[in-house]
Structures are given as C-alpha cells and as structure tokens.
Amino acid sequence: MDAVAKQIKTNCLRLLARREHSREELVDKLRLKGFNRDNILPVLNELAEQGWQSDSRYAESYIREQIRKGYGPLVIAFELNRNAITEVNLDDILLSVADSWQAHLTQVYAKKYQDNHPKSVIELAKRNRFLLQRGFSTAMINNLFTELYGRNLWRSGF
C-alpha cells in the first residue's frame, strides 16, 4: 500500500470511528481534503470488504436517528437518496423503532402540540406546515387530524 492509500485509509478510519458514513459521504469528504477519486475508491472497496464501511449499516443508523428526531419518511428517503443509498426498506427499520409511520406521526404531533385542538385555520395551517416540513405526507397528516378530531378540519371547519 502506497503512502497516499495509507493516508486515505487513516482518514476513513478516523471518520468511521466517530459514526457510520455512507460510501458517497466518505468520497466527498476525502475529495475535499484533496485526494483523487481514483485513489479513494480502491481503499473504500477494501474497507467495505473488511466490514469497516457499510452503506446498509449507515442507512439503518441514519434512519433510527432521524426517526428519533421526529422526521418522517419523505425527508428520510430524500436524504438517503442524496447520499446514494437506494437499496433500503424504510418500513422494515421503522418497525424496530416504532409501530408505524402513522404512530410515529402521532407521537411527533403530541410532543409538539400538547393542546390538541387548533383554535383557528391559521393555527391549523401552521401545524400542517410543520408536519409537512418534517417529511410526513398530506394524506398522513389528514388521517392524523381525522383520527384526533373525528373529522377532516379542512373540510368541516371549526
């Protein structure tokens, strides 16, 4: 192993010791340090073969963390895709953390809004926007409001 490959491996192991990283994240970070992609890829292949780097482990760790922070499936899937992780089943990992996305949405909503009933359409819109920004779909949010209030507040008014 030449000196450049040793430097790349040392940098990779230092990064991986802190937390899991996707292959694409490591490539980006190492390129920022001035390493050539052609030198990086063989080292990453070796680390993956030895079990030091794993995209599936990274995905599972990332999903668990984002669920813990209160994010929904749309944001999580977008971020994983941005890190070149496409072969992962969000629902399988969710089941080990929460019952379902709808149950997770209910928990996120209850934590943020202890007083259940919005007082105005403006407040309802703010709550809706918060949940959309967290990565929950409109259908999921409408189901939540129907479940909590017994009707679709957008259609029936207050």
Residues 6+ apart with CB under 8 A from 144: 102, 105, 106, 109, 131
Task: Return d(Cα 80, Cα 66) in angstroms, integer.
Answer: 11
Q: Does one domain contain both 39 and 66?
A: no
Task: Return d(Cα 33, Cα 97) in angstroms, integer.
Answer: 36
Q: Angle at Cα 29 formed by Cα 18 and Cα 72, nearest 5°? A: 70
Q: Does one domain contain both 30 and 76?
A: no
Q: Does one domain contain both 37 and 107?
A: no
pLDDT in tens, 54-94: 998 898 889 889 999 999 999 998 998 888 887 777 677 76
Q: Which domain holds residue 95?
A: 55-158
Q: Does one domain contain both 49 and 60?
A: no
pLDDT in tens, 100-111: 889 999 999 999
Q: Does one domain contain both 119 and 65?
A: yes
Task: Return d(Cα 128, Cα 142) in angstroms, integer.
Answer: 9
Q: Does one domain contain both 47 and 80?
A: no
Does 98 score more than 70 pLDDT? no
Whether this prediction's pTM lies above 0.85 is answered by no
Q: What CATH number has the domain bearing residue 8?
A: 1.10.10.10
